[in-house]
Structure 1
Amino acid sequence: MTRFLTSAVDEVPEVTAPDGATVRPLCVLPGAASFAQFALAPEQVSRAVSHASVEEIWYVVSGSGEMWRRQDGHEEVTALVPGVCLTVPLGTAFQFRGGQEGLRVVAATVPPWPDDPGEARPAQGTW
């Protein structure tokens, strides 16, 4: 049993998320949640996806951009600037893009991100 986990964003490897964003997985509470940093380059647009089993809470730490979300016939585009926090409920189709200076967010995933290639399902996006 691991009692404590500590990670530093600059010391964990970068991976590419199914939506094309750069991800640095940070910490996991097994069975409860995981936490990661996501980044997009300036003007980069992610692929639209929906999640099969996880929900997320995002918090913008730097840069700017936009997030498009659609669920049950409702859709909206939210401006992403430092200090904005938003949710991605289970089954929500979403897509995001970086502004002129790129975008950096941190996010909690509940339950933890699974090791399943089918978790991020392609969706029809707005960009």
Structure 2
Amino acid sequence: MKQTRLPDKPDAKSPAGADIRFIMDGPTGNMIHSTVPVGQTNRATRHKTVHEFWYVLAGSGQIWRSDHACQTVVDLETGVSIDIPAGTAFQYRNTGDSVLQFICISMPPWPGDEEADFVDGPWEATVGGN
């Protein structure tokens, strides 16, 4: 059994450009806390093998997701959950006036930044990856 506390400072940056804090990991997945500053648009990516679930804690933004069947833009607001199946292209941005914060659960555990391929998205990114 494990117990953790949210770190005061980010542990790393995601390949897309979000600040991340590692919260929990195990054999079937891991969990991080992500933050996106006001005005930031992250790089569009596609994960090769990892599925993600997100839960928005605070702030507001948008996420674009696209797979072989459809594409959509969803407003990210407190209380909203979304999924990102493996192979889905996605890009997200903070459209509000406060930090966008969300919990992200990856299954299987995040294998490393080589998991993410950069793709074309609908918005111009304001940051790079790592």
Do they fold alike, i.e. is TM over 0.5? Answer: yes
Cα deviation for residue 12 of structure 1 reads 6.5
Of 72, 95, 104 in structure 2, the residue corresponding to residue 107 of structure 1 is 104
Task: Name the SS for the 1:126 alignment partner.
Answer: coil
Of 4, 9, 14 in structure 1, the residue corresponding to residue 6 of structure 2 is 9
Deviations 1:82-106 (A, max 9, x none): 0000000010000000122120000
Of 32, 36, 41 in structure 2, the residue corresponding to residue 45 of structure 1 is 41
Of 19, 39, 54 in structure 2, the residue corresponding to residue 22 of structure 1 is 19
Task: Name the SS for the 1:118 alignment partner.
Answer: helix
**Does the 8 Å CA contact 1:52/1:118 hold for their aligned counterparts?**
no
Cα deviation for residue 7 of structure 1 reads 1.4
Normalised by the length of structure 2, the TM-score is: 0.89
Task: Name the SS for the 2:114 alignment partner.
Answer: coil
Query: What runs of 5+ residues in structure 2 fail to find an aligned partner?
Result: 124-130
Rounded Cα–Cα distance in structure 2 between residues aligned with 1:39 and 1:25: 12
Rounded Cα–Cα distance in structure 2 between residues aligned with 1:13 and 1:43: 19
One-letter code aligned to 2:118: P
CA RMSD in angstroms comes to: 1.3
In proportion to residue count, which structure has more strand? 1
Query: What runs of 5+ residues in structure 1 fail to find an aligned partner?
Result: none
**Does the 8 Å CA contact 1:55/1:111 hold for their aligned counterparts?**
yes
Cα deviation for residue 14 of structure 1 reads 2.3
Normalised by the length of structure 1, the TM-score is: 0.91
- Corresponding position of 2:128: none
Rounded Cα–Cα distance in structure 2 between residues aligned with 1:111 and 1:100: 33
Moved >4 Å (runs of 4+): none
